[in-house]
Amino acid sequence: MDTNFPQRLDELMDGDFNPESAAVQSTANAVSPFNSVRRLNALLRAEISAAETYRMAMEKLDVPGNTQRFCIEALQRIQEDHRRAAQTIRGRIRQLGGEPVDSSGAWGAWARFAMSAAKVFGAAAVLRSLKEGEESGLTEFRDGMPSVDDTSGSLLQNELVPTLERHIRSLDQMIDGSGTA
């Protein structure tokens, strides 16, 4: 274990820890808990926003016939995946001694705007907007892996990234089958 980094965020507050000198002495792949928590909180905001966005999308989605039911059920599953991902990230932040955020912040405002705009252009636009959000989230998660500790990176790589990839495939199927694309 690299003893240059504190194990909990409260160790950062004792005045004996200098992150700059520790970073110079540390191994190339070591990331401080503080930096991991910061990145994980950014990803948590995105997951909270995604769950909110899917709720709004289900309220606004207007697709004819049985396709409506299929789309709503699929969107509910994706929304639940985002809720679970948020809970998983919250748990990891707490394990690192951090305090998880409780709102989506600017992500939520953007989601409300995107869903309002997409509704004007119909179901296919709503689904494409959701897909773009998933693709953006996937990029954020992949880009975030080097900025978190190894355990958090494994969580992102092995659990959360594959889920986002599955969401993109599901949305592609909905777009193709919506009859409105």
Residues 6+ apart with CB under 8 A from 32: 5, 6, 19, 22, 23
Domains in the chain, please, with CATH?
33-177 (1.20.1260.10)
Q: Would you write out the chain's pLDDT as a tens digit for each of its 181 residues?
A: 444 444 444 444 333 334 443 343 334 457 899 999 999 999 999 999 999 989 888 877 766 666 777 888 999 999 999 999 999 999 999 999 999 999 877 655 666 666 666 566 677 888 888 999 999 999 999 999 999 999 999 999 999 999 999 999 999 998 887 544 3
Cα gap 87→82, rounded to integer Å: 9
Global pTM exceeds 0.85:
no
pLDDT at 141: 96
CA angle, 8 as apex, 18 and 44 as ends, to 5°? 110
The confidence score (pLDDT) of residue 69 equals 79
Note the pLDDT of residue 70: 83
The pLDDT, as a whole number, for residue 4 is: 41
pLDDT score, position 28? 44
Q: How far is CA 74 from CA 78, 101, 109, in A?
A: 6, 27, 24
Question: Closest Cα to residue 109, out of 45, 38, 168, 167?
Answer: 45
Apex 108 CA angle, 102 and 112, nearest 5: 150
CA dist 172 and 105 (Å) reads 28
Write the CA distances from 153 to 14, 26, 143, 159, integer angstroms. 27, 18, 10, 10
**Residue located via tokens 């191994």:** 27
Residue 119: what pLDDT? 60
